[in-house]
C-alpha cells in the first residue's frame, strides 16, 4: 500500500529509483554565494535542465517558485563565523516543511565533530516526527572533525553512511570515496538510497562528471551536486549532463561532449 512517505519520495526519485538533487543551502554557512545571488533564476535554470529536486532553507522555499521541482527543506544551519561551524543546529521544523509543501527534509550531521552527540540527538527526534507525518528525511552524513584525517576515507565514510541508515534516514547523502569498489562497499551496507555530495567546485567539468559516473556505477541512487552546477557558466547544460549520466546511462565523456556541443539534448530523446 502506498503511503504519504512513498508518494513524496516519488516526487524526488524517478521510476528508475534515481535522482538528481541540486542543493542551494550554501549561503547560510558561507554568506552570499556566487551563483546563488538570484535564486529565482538559478532555480529556473536547473528546472530547465530537468533536475529532480532542489534543497533549500525555509526563506527560499517561501519566496521562490520551485518550478515543479521536488522540494527538500534543509533543517540545519551554522555559519562560518561561529566558534564551532561544524555544530549544525536546527533552524527549521518538520511542521514548517509540511506547511511549505516540502517533499522531504534534510539534516546535516558532522560525524566525528565535537558536538556529534547533540546533532545525533536532534536528528533522532526529527526522524521520529518525520515518521509520524509520513515525510521522508535525508541525512547528510559527513565525516568531519578533529580526528578525521581524510573526509573521503572509506572507513569513515562507510561508518557515517551506515550511522545515518541505522538511525532511520530514508536517504543518505555522503562523500564519494574516490573509487568505484570502495564506494560500492559503502552502498552495500546501507539499505536505503545513497546519493553523493558534490563537494567543492571541481577543477574541471571532466573531473566532476567522472566522479558522478563512477558513483552511479558503484550503485549510488543519484547525486546532490551544488557548486559544480550553480557556479557553472551554463547551469542548465550542466544539470542536463548530470541527468544524462544518472538517468540515461551516459558516460562521463558522453556528458562532456554534450556540454561542449552547447545544445545539451537530453539522451532521453534519443
Choose the CATH number for 4-269 among 3.20.20.70, 3.40.50.261, 3.30.1330.40, 3.30.9.10: 3.20.20.70
- Residue 39's pLDDT band, with cuts at 50, 70 and 90, is very high
Which residue carries 521562490 as its cell?
64
268 pLDDT more than 60: no
- Residue 267's pLDDT band, with cuts at 50, 70 and 90, is very low
> Residues with Cβ < 8 Å from 17, sequence gap 6 or more?
193, 221
- Please state, in angstroms and rounded to a whole number, the distance separating the CA atoms of residues 39 and 134: 28
Q: What is the pTM of this model?
A: 0.94
> Residues with Cβ < 8 Å from 59, sequence gap 6 or more?
none
Residue 218 is predicted with a pLDDT of 98
> Residues with Cβ < 8 Å from 52, sequence gap 6 or more?
12, 13, 14, 19, 20, 21, 69, 70, 222
Residue 261 is predicted with a pLDDT of 80
Q: What is the percent of the chain with per-residue pLDDT over 70, rounded to a whole number?
A: 96
265 pLDDT more than 80: no
- Residue 262's pLDDT band, with cuts at 50, 70 and 90, is low
The DSSP H or E segment spanning 253 is helix 252-261
User: Parallel, antiparallel, or unpaired: how do β-strands 76-77 and 89-90 relate?
Assistant: antiparallel
Averaged over 136-152, what is the pLDDT? Answer: 94
Q: By the 8 A CB rule, do 53 and 12 touch?
A: yes
Classify 109 as helix, strand or coil: strand
Residue 264 is predicted with a pLDDT of 44
Separation of CA 171 from chain center? 9
Averaged over 243-249, what is the pLDDT? Answer: 98
Residue 266 is predicted with a pLDDT of 46
Amino acid at each position: 500500500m502506498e503511503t504519504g512517505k512513498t508518494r513524496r519520495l516519488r516526487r524526488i526519485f524517478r521510476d528508475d529509483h534515481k535522482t538528481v538533487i541540486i542543493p542551494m543551502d550554501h549561503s547560510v554557512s558561507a554568506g552570499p554565494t556566487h551563483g546563488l545571488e538570484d535564486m529565482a533564476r538559478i532555480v529556473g535554470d536547473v528546472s530547465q535542465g530537468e533536475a529532480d529536486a532542489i534543497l533549500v532553507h525555509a526563506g527560499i522555499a517561501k519566496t521562490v517558485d520551485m518550478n515543479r521541482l521536488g522540494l527538500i527543506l534543509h533543517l540545519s544551519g551554522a555559519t562560518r563565523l561561529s566558534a564551532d561551524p561544524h555544530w549544525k543546529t536546527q533552524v527549521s521544523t518538520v511542521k514548517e516543511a509540511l506547511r511549505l509543501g516540502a517533499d522531504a527534509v534534510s539534516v546535516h550531521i558532522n560525524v566525528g565533530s565535537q558536538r556529534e552527540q547533540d546533532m545525533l540527538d536532534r536528528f533522532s527526534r526529527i526522524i521520529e516526527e518525520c515518521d509520524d507525518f509520513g515525510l521522508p528525511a535525508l541525512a547528510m552524513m559527513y565525516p568531519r572533525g578533529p580526528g578525521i584525517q581524510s573526509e573521503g576515507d572509506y572507513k569513515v565514510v562507510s561508518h557515517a553512511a551506515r550511522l545515518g541508515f541505522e538511525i532511520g534516514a530514508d536517504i543518505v547523502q555522503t562523500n564519494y570515496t574516490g573509487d568505484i569498489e570502495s564506494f560500492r562497499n559503502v552502498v552495500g551496507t546501507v539499505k536505503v538510497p545513497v546519493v553523493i555530495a558534490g563537494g567543492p567546485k571541481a577543477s574541471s567539468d571532466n573531473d566532476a562528471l567522472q566522479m558522478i559516473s563512477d558513483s552511479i556505477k558503484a550503485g549510488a541512487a543519484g547525486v546532490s551536486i551544488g557548486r559544480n552546477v550553480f557556479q557553472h557558466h551554463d547551469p542548465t547544460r550542466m544539470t542536463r549532463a548530470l541527468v544524462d549520466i544518472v538517468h540515461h546511462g551516459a558516460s562521463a565523456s558522453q556528458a562532456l561532449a554534450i556540454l561542449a556541443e552547447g545544445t545539451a539534448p537530453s539522451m532521453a530523446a534519443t
